Amino acid sequence: MTELIPNVDETAQRPRVVLVGPPGAGKSTIARRLARALSLGLVDSDELIEEATGKACGEVFAELGEPAFRELEAAQVAEALKTSGVVSLGGGAVVTASTRELLADHDVVWIDVSPEEGYRRTSSDDTRPVLLAENPREHYRNLLETRMPLYHEVAGFRIRTDRRTPQQVVADVLGHLDSLV
């Protein structure tokens, strides 16, 4: 017996754009404004983790430790990538190989920030346990150095947010998306 398979538009349930980048780069802010500008929904992988666990993302990270947290995060990212609209991933999502593999089929924009500005934006935020260290400034710089090749691997477009308003960054992302059509 032959099974009829409906003709499904495979692009119907895929994000218009996926944002990656380090903590403090502005992914959440840019994602909200970008979703609004495109009249699309927004899915934030950190919010999915919070909904799934009933706890703040930083608290989940602190309780589980990084390896178990990354496993949970990868599952939530996989779900987020099945949606349409704008998807914003947590800063460390790219460290997981399975996540990087999934991102290969998506339009990924790297929201970047200098080490100095990223540190400034995150230094007073105690909800980010991944940044807690004896020397937070050096830890942030090392985090960026480690993840930079991974962001580069998955992203097709990179934009720096230093000394730029969210409106300017969103305009650049929109310009990039328009160039793909």
Q: Known binding site for substrate: residues?
A: 46, 70, 91, 147
Query: In whole angstroms, what is the distance from residue 9 CA to residue 91 CA?
Result: 31
State the binding site for Mg(2+): 28
Give the up-direction half-sphere exposure of residue 44: CA atoms within 13 A in the CB hemisphere: 18
Rounded CA gap, 125 and 111, in Å? 19
**Contact predicate 1/51, CB 8 Å:** no
The answer to whether the CB of 144 falls within 8 A of the CB of 112 is no
Q: Which two tokens stand for residue 94?
A: 């790219």
Question: Residues marked as binding?
Answer: 24-29, 46, 70, 91, 128, 147, 164
* Distance between CA atoms of residues 62 and 86, nearest Å: 27
Helix, strand, or coil (residue 109) = strand
State which amino acid sits at residue 8.
Answer: V
- Check if the beta carbon of residue 94 is closer than 8 Å to that of residue 154: yes
Please report, in range form, the residues annotated as the binding site for ATP.
Answer: 24-29, 128, 164
What whole-number distance in Å separates Cα of residue 36 and Cα of residue 21? 20
